[in-house]
Amino acid sequence: MAYKYSTELTQNCAKGVGVALPISRKESVMVCQAIRGMQVGKAKKLLEDVVALKKPIAFTRYNMDMGHKHGIAAGRFPVSACSQILKLLQSVEANAQFKGLSTAGLIVRHASAQKGPTAYHSGRQRTKAKRTHIELVVEEKKQEAKK
């Protein structure tokens, strides 16, 4: 199982992959878009707020017949997707700490969701099960020297 990341993995990066997670791919795409480029602490706070139903995720792509939320146009609270991505983000942060990177200056450099394997629930209806692959890459932000 090989993945091609869209970013080069350097010495100051740490990665994590969640394989075949039982979450919606469309919701995962929007959550990854929301946390991409954020600091890890702020991203964790956002995901915890979504799980606690305090702050919604803006849905810019899959928003047909979706309700309006204050401050953003269309939005929802994808609780299960956020809780799984939060676990993966904590794992990536631990990977970065193991590599010797400072966890205070980590930024989510790459976050993407892809289609997982097609699995079916057993029974007469034979409905599809949700499966999604999540990739996260965090990078240590370089401290600029102050004059």
Helices (H), the chain: 25-35, 40-51, 79-98
Residue-level pLDDT at 9: 85
Name all domains of the chain by residue range, CATH numbers in brackets. Answer: 14-140 (3.90.470.10)
Q: Report how far apart, in Å, the C-alpha atoms of 60 and of each of 27, 33, 76, 91 are.
A: 11, 10, 11, 28
Task: Write the secondary structure of 119-143 as one string of H (helix), E (strand) and C (coil).
Answer: EECCCCCCCEECCEEEEEEEEECCC
Residues 6+ apart with CB under 8 A from 20: 116, 117, 131, 132, 133
pTM of the model: 0.91
Mean pLDDT value of segment 123-140: 93
Q: Does residue 144 or residue 77 have the better pLDDT? A: 77
Q: Is the pLDDT of residue 83 over 80?
A: yes
pLDDT tens, 18-76? 999 999 999 999 999 999 999 999 999 999 999 999 999 999 999 999 989 888 999 99
Q: Is the pLDDT of residue 145 over 60?
A: no
Mean pLDDT value of segment 6-25: 90
Q: Does residue 141 or residue 31 have the better pLDDT? A: 31
Mean pLDDT value of segment 107-116: 94
Q: What's at 41, amino acid-wise?
A: G
